[in-house]
Amino acid sequence: MSLAGESYMRKGAETMALRVHDLRKDKTPVNEEHSQATRPFPYRAAVVLVEAVFAYEWLVSAVDKLLSGMFFLHLQRQLEDAVSGSKYTLYARFLQTIVPHSHLLAILVVSGELSVGLGFVILMIGTLRYRGAPSPTFLWLGAVVTFTGTLMNVNFFFFQNGAYFLNPQQPFDEGVPIDFCMAVIQLELFVLHAMALRHGEGRSRHPNET
């Protein structure tokens, strides 16, 4: 083989090697991004179960209040009794300011329970459908729903004079009220959604992903 032919083949091999190197270099971040985008939402089954339980609890509570006219008629009396019998002084002062607006509060409570319940239904459906990383919109919805639910449960906990530790004066009551447990779990879910948003877990799917 002539020197010119060997030189031509050598240059061709070098060019091909450079192209392969460039292809590998360009392909690596795409694959990494694709693997991150398709990473499953952790503990999908457990999350769906928790969301279903919370959706059921909030919706049943809201429907009970809607079907019973006593909630709207007697909320003011309940607030007044809570003010006089509350062991949480700051919360009692807070209730004193809203007693005159009990009807508006009743509407807000029912609307809030319905919204949170429906929000958990949407989260449950979204968790079932997503096969990759959840979108930022989904994470924002989860953060808003869980944070709102936490605030409402904390309010109900104080309203019922709940105990968060030992309470030997009421041995026939549950150890810790359900509102306290719900508030803690929803707060944890809120932190998970907020951390996912902060660290960029919610991102659009790769164009080639089906």
pLDDT at 3 over 60: no
Over 80: is that where the pLDDT of 98 sits? yes
Measured between alpha carbons, how far is 57 from 152 in angstroms, rounded to an integer? 13
User: What per-residue confidence (pLDDT) applies to 84?
Assistant: 86
Residue 95 pLDDT greater than 50, yes or no: yes
- Range name among 10-14, 94-98, 138-142, 200-204 with the lowest pLDDT average: 10-14
Please report which confidence band the pLDDT of residue 210 belongs to, taking 50, 70 and 90 as the band edges.
Answer: very low
Are the CB atoms for 70 and 64 separated by under 8 Å?
A: no
Look at residue 205 and tell me whether its pLDDT is greater than 50. no
Domain residue spans of the chain: 1-37, 42-198
Q: What pLDDT was estimated at residue 87?
A: 83
- Averaged pLDDT score across all residues of the chain: 78
The phi and psi torsions of 73 (rounded to 5 degrees) equal -80, -35
Q: Band the pLDDT of 89: cuts 50, 70, 90.
A: confident
Is 55:117 a contact under the CB 8 Å cutoff? yes
> What pLDDT digit, counting tens, does each position of 127-174 carry?
888 777 778 889 999 999 999 999 999 999 998 877 776 666 665 566
- pLDDT tens, position by position, 19-74: 444 444 444 444 444 444 444 555 678 889 999 999 999 999 999 999 988 889 88
| 179 or 13, greater pLDDT | 179
User: Mean pLDDT over residues 181-190, rounded?
Assistant: 93
157 vs 187: CA distance, rounded Å: 14
